[in-house]
Each structure stands twice: as C-alpha cells, then as structure tokens.
Amino acid sequence: MKTAIATVCLSGGLREKLEAIAAAGFRGVEIFENDLLSYHGTPADVAKEVADLGLKVITFQPFRDFEGMPDSQRARTFDRAERKFDVMGELGCDLLLVCSNVSPQAQGGIDHAAADLRELGERAARRGLRIGFEALAWGRHINDYRDAWEVVRRADHPAVGLVLDSFHVYARRTDLNRLSAIPGDRIFLVQLADAPWLDMDVLTWSRHFRCFPGQGDMPLTDFVAAVAATGYRDHLSLEIFNDQFRAGSPRSVAVDGQRSLTFLMDQLHELTGAPPGDFSALPPRSKCLGVEFIEFAVDDRAGDELEDFLGHLGFRNAARHKSKAVTRWVQGAINLVVNREKEGFAHSHYITHGPSVCAIGLKVQSAAATLDRAERLHDIPFRQRVGPGELEIPAVRGVGGSLLYFVDQGSALAKVWDVEFELLRAAGNAASAGLIAIDHISQSMHYEDMLSWLLFYTSLFDVEKTPQLDITDPGGIVRSQVVETADGALRIALNASQSPRTQSSRFLSEYFGSGVQHIAFQTDDILAAARTLRVNRVATLPIPANYYDDLEARVDLPAERVRALRANNILYDRDDCGEYFQLYTTSFKDLFFIEIVQRRGYRGFGAINAPIRLNAQSRLAAERAALDSG
Ligand code: MG
Ligand code: MG
C-alpha cells in the first residue's frame, strides 16, 4: 500500500504543507478545499507545484451534504458538484470525496442515496472522474460504513466506490467483520486516524483529538489487516484533525506521519506475516535491557558542584576518560557520566541548556539493528568525530536535541568503559546510599511534542505506553504518560503542560527546551537511603504534616511506620501488586532533581503523590524567589 496524507493535518499555507509532505517522503496528497481557497494562485498552479514536488493529488475533499436532498435542492446540489469537477480537472485529480449528508433537509433511504450517487458517478465518468463515498460517524442517515457500502453497492456504477476512515469506524465501535467482505476494488480510498478513547460528542472528538496511528488507543493494526484482506492495495492516507499538529512545525508533523505509517505496516507484517508492500521489512522493535548510563553536560563550575552533589548521593568517582574531561560515577548498577569538554556534542548541549542531561545510553540486544530500525523509522541518526582509542557508539537524536546511545554485549561496545576510561582509586567519597539501579527517567517537553516522542519511543523499542494521566500542579494541569518495557528495565515518563505556570512548563523555560527533569534511582531500603542523605547533608523535599495525617487515616500502616515516613519526607503508595516509597531531593541549580524509590512489587509511579510533590516544589521555588528578590 502507498502512503498519503491530507493537507488538513499540517499547519501553514498550502505551499509550505506540500513541501513538508514531499520532504517526509509521501507521494500522495489529499487536497482540502479550504487549503485551496486560501491559496494565492489557480488550481492549475497547485497542480504544477504538486508535480514539481513529485507528488500526486489523490483526492479533492470534502464534498458535503449531497445524497438524499429533496427535489427542490437536488438540481443545485448537482450544480455544486459540477463546479468541483471543474476544479478537479485543473488540479489533475480524479477522485472526489463525498461525505455522508449531515443536513437536516436530507431524506433517508438507501435507494434514494444510491440513485443520487449513481447519477453523480455517471456525470463524473463523462469527465474521467470518480466518486468516493464516506460515512461520517455523525451523518444524518448514513453514519456506518456498512450502510455506505450498501449505498455504493446499489449505485452499481464503476465510477462510484467506498471511502473507509478508521476514525469513523471505531468512533461508533462498529465491528470489522463486514469490512473484509467488501471487494477491494470497490474501495477507492482508505483514510487512517487514531484517537484516544474519550467520552465526548463524536464531532468534537474527531475535529480536535485525532492523532497518527499508534499515538492513540484505537486498534489500527486490526483495521488495516481487515482492509488488506479485501485485496485493497491503494493509498493509506492520514487524515488527522488535531490542535497540537496545527500548532506544530509542518515538517516534523509530516515526518511523524510517515513514521506512524511505517510502524503500522511493520505491525501489520508482524500480525499477519503479509508482505509489507511498498514498505521494506524492519528489524524487530528493539528490546531494551536497561539504562547503561546517563550523561551530564556541564562547565567546570557546574561540574564541580554536580560531582559534589553526586558524591553526597553516595556515588563513587570510579573512572576518568583517557583523553577527555569526562568522569564516570558509579553506585550499584548506575553509571553517571559528567562531561566538561569544551567542544563536541555535550558542550553544544551545555551552551543551549546549561547543566543538563545531554545523553542517555541504553542497553539493547543489538545496537546496530536498533540504529537500522531507527533510521528506517525516520529517526535522526547522530555521528560525531571519534578520537583515537574511542568507540563509535550508535546514536539517534532524542528529546530536546539530546542523544540516545545504543550499547550491547555482542559487539565491541560491551567494553566501552574499559576501552575509553581508566579506573581511579576511590578516595574520599561518601558512603554509598544503597542506590542500585535507575528506576525511571522523567522528561518534560512542550505539549505539542508529546505525541511525537510517544511515537518515537513506542515505534523504536519493545515498550508499552500507560494510559494518559492528568496531574494537578498548583499552576495547572500536567499531562503524563509512561513508556516502559514489560519487565521495567526501561521506564520513561513523558510530561507536558499547556499552562505556562506548572513546574513542567517552568522547567522548559529555565532549561531552554525539553529535557530530563528528574531521574529516579531505586533502592532496597529507603530508610537507609534517607539516613545516608541526612548524614551527607543532602536536602530533601519537605512534605507537609497534613499528608501524613491523611495517610494514617487512608491506609492501615502501623503508626510507627508512618512516623518513620514522616520523619524522612517519604511518600507512600500501594497498588494490587505491592508498595511504593518515594523521596525527592531539592533541585540541583533549579534544573533537575533526584528521586529515590523503593518498589515492593508496585507497578506504578505514585501518581496519587504527584500533586503533593508538585505543591511542595512550587512552595520551595516561591520561597527561593522571595529570598532572591528580598
Ligand atoms: Mg475521513
Ligand atoms: Mg518520578
């Protein structure tokens, strides 16, 4: 099947949209009438631009309120259609998309509708054009693809075919059984859109919340499998109305669209074993075995402060890079890298963001296959000059221009620490705090970018996404969603907010963009970790007494345990699988902070405690601001 996208998906003027669509590798485009109306030039000019970009206009749309009109309106309705045919002739497009009538004047009756479609087909055929009929989920009489198919079947005209749209099918929870029985050559176009399951009127849901396949909750793979079973081999066209996309860059949204289709075809291939058609088969989704390292970009001053902070958190300066101003800090299975280089990637990241996480190294089964899959998914590979005695670690661009490195055990990369670093004798470091592993990494991003990074992670790695959560920050709502491997080896929390006053948004403005806002380390003994932090004078986030009063009333913990939690600013939660303990440091230079967690079987992330934490952080930030200004 071939890829296409509707101009309505993207922001910008028509020319900008077409350029973005061509640059993202699409060959087909649906022209939305509004984009044409606001274009300075004739339809023939558009046709030329489209051809120059190597694109093809596959559909002109939408043609509304056509079928079943009363006799008094009928002639005018057909006149309207003839004028669209004129435009299509100039555009060089042969398919008009007719969506089912929503007008209160429309009369029901399958035969009435079929007769109208048949006559329209006859008129279109005289000009070498075709008609595709689509059931809108809110159509007055026709709102189900099965009825639309019955209309097309009875119209019985070679120039009249069916248009299927995954959103309209799933929005009405229609089953797919009948779909695979429709002859593939009577389907003229298949449109794809995903969406989160929302309880709202279908029109609003469709106009604002559609998203690319894989970004929502609808089982698009099943839909495409049913379509493939009909024998349909023509365009799969993205038709997404989404507020975030219309606020985003057309170039990157178009690339996301292409990525979503590549991933969808890959899943179809996995599900049915069917050849991926125009798509080449990808290496399987990369299995992430854990986080190998987190790298910080700093200058000398921030480097001293950060290393001091890490020392107090119980990290040991275990090694130093053989040729660069880079150190390795270790505790349990956690590796942190502090990079003070004055050139190269980390330095430019530091210039943009200040002291920050510039890279995350992931342990994968095969680094080469992961990079290969990433490139085929249109992710952006990263390469920089490799010095003598250094390994080239495969990497792609991640959130906020940071890097995701891939290391594995099966290649020379397994020895990266030995090859590039020399061991230091541990001296003068504080005692370990019993931190054993990285539990999760939390990234804050712009609201419009969240769906994009969600697709990035879920298409590249063998991870699942948790349902979206809306968390109350004193400054507004923060949307949060986690991508994680089934075994928890990788857990990344994505956070975004539309309000400029939330912690998440303040992070974006202070940090100059998206990035890692906090890192959670795991321990087997949170009380011991708290004790070490206290001895090492690491400030923890103060939690109000009210929280513990409520906790005591809410859960049946022994009073003594609640007292211990209270004394150490430890938050508590439990689910069906077990218990969770959380402790936060205050922020490092107002940029990021550390969380320490203990999991006893618990699967979540303490969402119930998030508003408590956010309130405590914003109170501290306000106090600090008052001190600064006073
Ligand atoms: Mg549609
Ligand atoms: Mg957390």
CA of 176 to the centre of ligand 1 (A): 17
> Residues 115-148: pLDDT tens digits?
999 999 999 999 999 999 999 999 999 999 999 9
One domain, residues 599 and 538: yes
* Cα–ligand 2 centroid distance for 518 (angstroms): 7
The pLDDT value given to residue 276: 58
Q: Strand, helix or coil at 324?
A: coil
How remote is the CA of residue 597 from the centroid of ligand 2, in Å?
8
Amino acid 611: pLDDT: 92
Residues 143 and 215 both lie in one domain: yes
What is the model's pLDDT at position 630? 66
User: Tens of pLDDT along 232-257?
Assistant: 999 999 999 998 888 889 999 999 99
**Cα–Cα separations (whole angstroms), residue 443 to 453, 550, 611:** 10, 30, 17
Q: Which ligand is nearest to the CA of 207?
A: 1
In a domain, 211, yes or no: yes
Predicted local distance difference test score (pLDDT) of residue 624: 83
Q: 282 in a domain, yes or no? A: no
**CA 316, 320, 324 angle in degrees (round to 5)?**
145
Per-residue pLDDT, averaged over 520-531, amounts to 97
CA pair distance 508, 500, nearest whole angstrom: 9
The answer on 357 and 487 residing in a single domain is no
From the CA of 165, the nearest ligand is: 1
> What pLDDT is stored for residue 277 in this prediction?
62
429 pLDDT band (50/70/90 cuts)?
low
Least distant ligand from the CA of 592: 2
Alpha-carbon torsion, ordered 349, 350, 353, 359, to 10 deg: 50
- Across the chain, what does the average pLDDT equal? 94
CATH number at 70 reads: 3.20.20.150
**Of 205, 239, 272, which marks where a domain is finished?**
272
The per-type count for the chain, helices as H runs and strands as E runs, is 21, 26
Give pLDDT, residue 504. 78
Count of domains forming the chain: 3
* Ligand 1 midpoint to CA 30 (Å): 11
The bound ligand whose nearest atom lies closest to the alpha carbon of 98 is: 1
Sorting pLDDT into bands at 50, 70 and 90, what band is 509?
A: confident
Residue 535 sits in the same domain as residue 617 = yes
**pLDDT at residue 591 in the model:** 86
- Whether omega for the bond prior to residue 219 falls within 30 degrees of 0, making it cis, is no
Using a cut of 0.85, tell me whether the model's pTM lies above it.
yes
Strands 435-446, 464-465: pairing kind: unpaired
Residues 50 and 119 in one domain: yes
Q: Has residue 278 got a pLDDT over 70?
A: no
Which ligand has the shortest distance to the CA of 597? 2
Ligand 2 mean position, distance from CA 195 (Å): 26
- Nearest ligand to residue 145 Cα: 1
Q: How far is the CA of 614 from the centre of ligand 2 (A)?
A: 11
Domain boundary among 423, 456, 474: 423
Q: Which ligand is the nearest neighbour of the Cα of 166?
A: 1
Name the 3-class secondary structure at 262.
Answer: helix
% of the chain with per-residue pLDDT over 90: 83
Distance from the CA of 16 to the center of ligand 1, in angstroms?
A: 22
Q: What burial letters (b/e) apply to 486-514, b meaning 16+ CB within 10 Å?
A: eeebbbbbbbbbbeeebbbbbbbeebebb
Ligand nearest to the Cα of 495, by number: 2
Between the CA of 32 and the centroid of ligand 2 the distance, in Å, is 43
Residue 229 shares a structural domain with residue 314: no
Which pair of structure tokens corresponds to residue 155? 């119209």
Instruction: Report the separation in Å between the CA atom of 378 and the middle of ligand 1, taken as the mean of its atom positions.
Output: 26
Q: How many CB atoms lie within 10 A of CB 342?
A: 11
Nearest ligand atom owner, CA of 583: 2
479: containing domain: 435-629
Looking at the DSSP bridge assignments, the partners of residue 600 are 579
Say how many CA atoms lie within 13 Å of 157 toward its Cβ: 23
Q: Is residue 522 part of a domain?
A: yes
Question: 608 C-alpha to center of ligand 1: Å?
Answer: 39
Residues 239 and 296 in one domain: no
Q: How far apart are CA 29 and CA 9, in angstroms?
A: 11
- pLDDT for the residue 499: 81
Percentage, residues of the chain above pLDDT 70: 98
pLDDT tens digit string along 47-56?
A: 999 999 999 9
Q: From the CA of 441, which ligand is nearest?
A: 2
* Residue-wise pLDDT tens digits, 490-500: 999 999 988 88
Ligand nearest to the CA of 99: 1
Those residues whose beta carbon sits under 5 angstroms from the ion ligand 1 are 165, 191, 239
- Kindly identify the ligand whose nearest atom is closest to the C-alpha of 133: 1
| Residue 520 located in a structural domain | yes
| 429 is a domain residue | no
Q: Are residues 503 and 527 in the same domain?
A: yes
Determine the distance separating the centroid of ligand 1 and the alpha carbon of 245, expressed in angstroms: 17
Distance (Å) from CA 564 to ligand 2 centroid: 21
pLDDT at 532 > cutoff 80: yes
Domain boundary among 423, 453, 486: 423
State in Å: Cα 322 to ligand 1 middle. 58
Ligand located closest to 241 CA: 1
Of 239-248, 354-363, 450-459, 484-493, minimum mean pLDDT range: 239-248
**205 belongs to a structural domain:** yes
Token pair belonging to 534: 């206290």
CA of 53 from ligand 1 middle (Å) equals 24
447 falls in which pLDDT band (50, 70, 90)?
Answer: confident
**Euclidean distance between CA atoms 342 and 94, whole angstroms:** 58
Same domain, 442 and 510: yes
pLDDT at 430: 63
Distance in Å, CA 507 to ligand 2 centroid: 15
pLDDT at 377 over 60: yes
Q: Ligand 2: distance of its center to the CA of 492 in Å? A: 9
- The mean-pLDDT minimum among 181-190, 402-411, 429-438, 486-495 falls in 429-438
The answer to whether residues 195 and 263 belong to one domain is yes
- For 165-185, the pLDDT digits (tens) are 999 999 999 999 999 899 999
pLDDT score at 275: 65
CATH code where residue 407 lies? 3.10.180.10
Interaxial angle between packed helices 71-91 and 110-126, expressed in degrees from 0 to 180 and rounded to the nearest 10: 40
Give me the helix-helix angle, 250-272 and 220-229, nearest 10°. 60
Regarding whether 462 and 593 lie in a shared domain, the answer is yes
CA 467-468-472 angle, to 5 degrees, is 135
In a domain, 279, yes or no: no
Q: Does residue 281 lie in a domain region? A: no
In terms of domains, do 44 and 115 share one? yes
Query: Ligand 2 centroid to 602 CA: how many Å?
Result: 13
Residue 322 has pLDDT above 60, yes or no: yes
